[in-house]
Amino acid sequence: MKKTIFFLMGSSLMYCPSLLKAQKVTPEKKAVKDIESVEVKGKLNHNLINVSRKTLDFIQSNTLGETLSKIPGIQNSGYGPNSGTPVIRSLSGNRVKVLENGMSVNDLSGISPDFNTDIEMNSVQSINIYKNSAAVLFGGKAIGGAIDIETDYVPKQLPSKNLNLRAVLEGGSNSGQRQALSAKGVISKNWVWTVGAANQKQEIVRIPGKSKDSRCFDPQLVGFNSILQSLCQIDVNSRNVLNTSLFPYISQFALDHMEEYGLSEGDLYTFNATYYNPSDGKYYPNPKNDKYISGQDPIKDRYRSEVNSIKDYVETKDGTIPNSHSESNSFYVGTSYIGKSFYAGGAYQNSYSYFGVPGYAIYKIPGNSHAAPQPKIEYLPINIRSLSHKAMLETGYTFNNFPISSIKLNYMGVFSKNAELLERHRANEFSVNQHNGRLEINQKKLKFLTGTTGLEVQYRDMKGEGNQRYLPNTISRETGVFTMQHLDFKFIEFDLGYRNDHVQRRADGTDKEYIRSRGLSGGQLSDRNFTLNQFHAAGQWNILKKGFLKVQYNYSERAPEVNELYAGNNHFAILTEENGDDSLEKETAKTLEIGGGINLKNLRLSANWYHTTYKNYIYLAHTGISREIYLVKEWRSDDTEINGIEAEAAYKIDLNKLGKWEIGGYYDLVRNISTADSSIRKWSDGDYMPNMPTSRFGFSLTGTLQKLSINVALDHYLKQKYLGKNINPELPMPAFSLLNARVSYKDSTFNFGEMEYYIVGNNLLNSEARLQNSQLKFLSPLPGINISVGVKVTI
């Protein structure tokens, strides 16, 4: 708390992230024209943050998680350089829902973190972020927040010109190359068409040093620690020897009778200060052990590992991330009829991606044979291949002189094949057929009341193939009815919302091609039905148009996903034998958030404190067992508490001929603490959940100088203080800083449109940066320095 107070005081003199525009109260006349930035919208609306296309041009990276990681409270899961999803206040995967135009995308990334979200970033118009529970609007899988990506595949407005075109061409020293093209035009008076395509390719990702953490080769750390050996993907040749420094004395009796009684080294060292001489019946002092080191545990430290050699599964090359290639391409086409009160349209989008994960696994584990020499184990690189087709339909109608102001109906069908490969061999593949429908009815404003009521349905059929499947065939159905009401009394506002969901999970236990592990492996693969209730209440006091105070409360529930219920085999992509439990109950989260801010001319300050208590928090826990090369883990549930702080500040200044500038800064902290009285959890995972995001702070500078636009951002990640366990105590990653910058020049002298030339620098300090929350932190740091140049054409 002290750090936060000092930070806010200092930031008022310096700034807050220009990547963030603090929460607005009722707008007032401003002395300085707004600079494009991330905007926190004025209404309560679940802490809704809007990231514009212009801001995305600066912060956009290869993955959605890395793109949004510059925003306070959001970090990147960092599953290698080519896969990363958003982590909101320490929550990710099946607790953070990723949507496209309000519809669920292919969400296999929540089941297996090596898969990317099915989003083509070059087609994104803007992104809406819900940093608190958005379960009332989007269901239980938004218990930790939601990311809603807005695209223009289905046009909703007539374009200003008969033809609009946007093209991007970019190449980087450490980011490969990408090209993107999108166009929109008018077919006739009310018909609009859209089309677009994108392509990206990169051969290798460079880093400043070695790909593996140096501690992977520390004999004192990896000798006894089989879990760290697995996380580092190393073979350790070692033997256990007596720790002679544990004993304060040497037995004089053993010295005198070593050969006579055939005594060993274990008899030579002792904790006893004296020894008994049976010949005269007297006690005599034992000599002191010069090697003795005090403070050691007599049981835990009795033996130590003597390491003879440490060898990589696969030898790596300094200066590069292994198996870091990536390529992707996408295409879309859409059309809409847009009338005065009615619009209807549809679109088709296709995307393909193939990329590497910086890890290795075994395609086929050799069988044991005592009669013949054991075959050499061959480790192959892990690759991901995804092919997705989307069909989108959308229609809306605006009413006049009617209690309903508008109605909107959306449908999205997702048909995808998602394969995990070992080199080019298919280890497993899941075909996903998913259908989503959403109806929203918006009320006409009645004095102080307005709101939205809706219905949402989702059906998902997942079928698997391959000799290393970790899931049976499954079917999921979800149905939800919701309402969100907003009351506005000018100086005070309220939000009230409720949702009821029915969720079904089904597993096919008759699939003979699916071979389950020897562990829990989903129990009886029982059918499960869940009824979920979501509730949201919030209030905000707007103080003289200069500030605000707000408080909000969320009660949210989440049904376990199919992997948490039914997984039961080697999931090599996470280097784990993953075991689901079909008896898991639904999660329940209660969140209280208090915040406030001020807006004085060009200075803005804001801060939020939040506290969440989880009942039946579901997590993947160590069992302490390993089979072949895989750690055996089980999905379990226990009570957990999450709390944190986010603080922001920003200052705008107009320097006339020297341009308009905004300087800013932020600080965020999150802790995920076990509150369960469980000896098993404390033994396996500790008092804090392992692999949690670290605290951090950042500074930024954004400005315009005639035709130049300049963006600079520095983010500093602190060393983790709140460490958990992976059976053994968790190791903290070193602190690091990331410096990014972008400079662009716009030229409007061309008759056909506008040209923008830009240069972007990422990780300009060339830091070795390892995310504490990354499951691959010991195998891969973040990419090293990258300089990209590009041109964007707008017609």
In one letter, which amino acid is 111? I
Overall average pLDDT of the 656-681 stretch: 91
Split at pLDDT 50, 70, 90, the class of 515 is confident
Q: Is the dihedral of CA 234, 239, 240, 243 positive or negative?
A: negative
Residue range 446-473, pLDDT digits in tens: 889 999 999 999 999 999 998 888 999 9
Spacing of C-alpha 772 from chain mean position:
12
**Sign of the C-alpha dihedral computed for residues 240, 244, 247 and 253 taken in this order:** positive
pLDDT at 373: 54
Select, from the ranges 216-225, 305-314, 368-377, 393-402, the one with the highest average predicted confidence (pLDDT): 393-402
Q: DSSP letter string over 264-300?
A: -HHHHEES-SEEEETTTTEEEEPPB-TT--TT--TTT
Tokens of 184: 């929109």
3-state secondary structure of 443: strand
| Predicted confidence (pLDDT) at residue 137 exceeds the cutoff of 80 | yes
Higher pLDDT, 40 or 288: 288
pLDDT exceeds 50 at position 557:
yes
Instruction: Please say if the pLDDT value at position 34 is more than 70.
Output: no
**Following CA atoms 467, 469, 475, 480 in sequence, which dihedral angle do they give, to the nearest 10 degrees?**
-160
Residue 758: burial class (beta carbons within 10 Å; 0-12, 13-18, 19+):
buried
Q: Give the three-state DSSP class for 65.
A: helix
Strand residues in 279-402 grouped as ranges (E): 282-285, 303-312, 320-321, 326-338, 342-362, 379-398
> What are the residue ranges spanned by the domains of the chain?
2-209+318-794
- Per residue in 589-624, pLDDT tens? 999 999 999 988 899 999 999 999 999 999 998 887
* Higher per-residue pLDDT: 413 or 681: 413
Span 287-297, mean pLDDT?
90
Mean pLDDT of 720-745: 93
Minimum mean pLDDT among 155-169, 254-268, 655-669: which range? 254-268
- The residue ranking higher by pLDDT, 115 or 140, is 140
Tell me what pLDDT residue 375 has: 61
Q: Give the mean pLDDT of the chain.
A: 87
Residue with more model confidence, 29 or 346? 346
Q: Could you tell me if 57 and 726 are in contact, meaning their C-beta atoms sit under 8 angstroms apart?
A: no
Q: What is the percentage of the chain residues whose pLDDT exceeds 70?
A: 92
Cβ–Cβ < 8 Å for 536, 550: no
- Please, what's the b/e burial string for 711-724 (b: 16 or more CB within 10 A of its CB; e: otherwise)? bbbbbbbeebebbb
Segment 771-775 mean pLDDT = 93
**Distance between CA atoms of residues 769 and 87, nearest Å:** 17
Closest CA to 484 of 554, 409, 540, 536: 536
- The 10s digit of each residue's pLDDT in 4-20 is 333 333 333 333 333 33
- Is the pLDDT reported for residue 309 higher than 50? yes
pLDDT band, residue 667 (cuts 50/70/90): very high
- Confidence check: pLDDT of 371 > 70: no
Q: Which helix H or strand E contains 219, and what residues bound it?
A: helix 219-222
To the nearest whole percent, how much of the chain has pLDDT over 90?
61
- Range in 29-38, 69-78, 639-648 the model is least confident about: 29-38
Each residue of 743-757: pLDDT tens digit?
999 988 777 788 999
Under DSSP, the state recorded for 21 is: B
Task: Give yes or no for residue 678 having a pLDDT over 60.
Answer: yes
The model's confidence at residue 391, banded by pLDDT at 50, 70 and 90, is: very high
pLDDT in tens, 217-251: 998 888 878 888 888 999 988 888 888 898 999 99
Residue 1 banded pLDDT, cuts 50, 70, 90: very low
User: Residue 492: how many CB atoms within 10 A of its CB?
Assistant: 12
Does 363 score more than 80 pLDDT? no
Answer yes or no: are the C-beta atoms of 579 and 560 closer than 8 Å. Answer: no
**The pLDDT value given to residue 197:** 95
Residue 679 or 652, more confident: 652
Pick from 371, 422, 326: which is nearest to 629 by CA?
A: 422
Span of 200-209, 747-756, 785-794 with lowest mean pLDDT: 747-756
pLDDT score at 105: 86
Distances (CA, A) of 296 to 272, 274, 394, 684: 16, 21, 67, 22
| Predicted pLDDT of residue 3 | 41
- Average pLDDT of the segment spanning 664-684: 89
| Amino acid (1-letter code) at residue 292 | Y
> What's the CATH architecture for 2-209+318-794?
Beta Barrel (2.40)
Tell which phi-psi region holds residue 490, choosing left (phi > 0), alpha (psi between -120 and 50) or beta. left
114 Cβ contact partners less than 8 Å away, ≥ 6 residues apart: 79, 80, 83, 357, 382, 384, 420, 573, 574
Tokens (6 digits) for 64: 């959605």
Tell me which of 202 and 26 has the higher pLDDT: 202
Distance, CA of 787 to CA of 93 (rounded, Å): 31
Using 50, 70 and 90 to split pLDDT, how confident is the model at 364? low
pTM given for the model = 0.86
Span 678-684, average pLDDT: 84
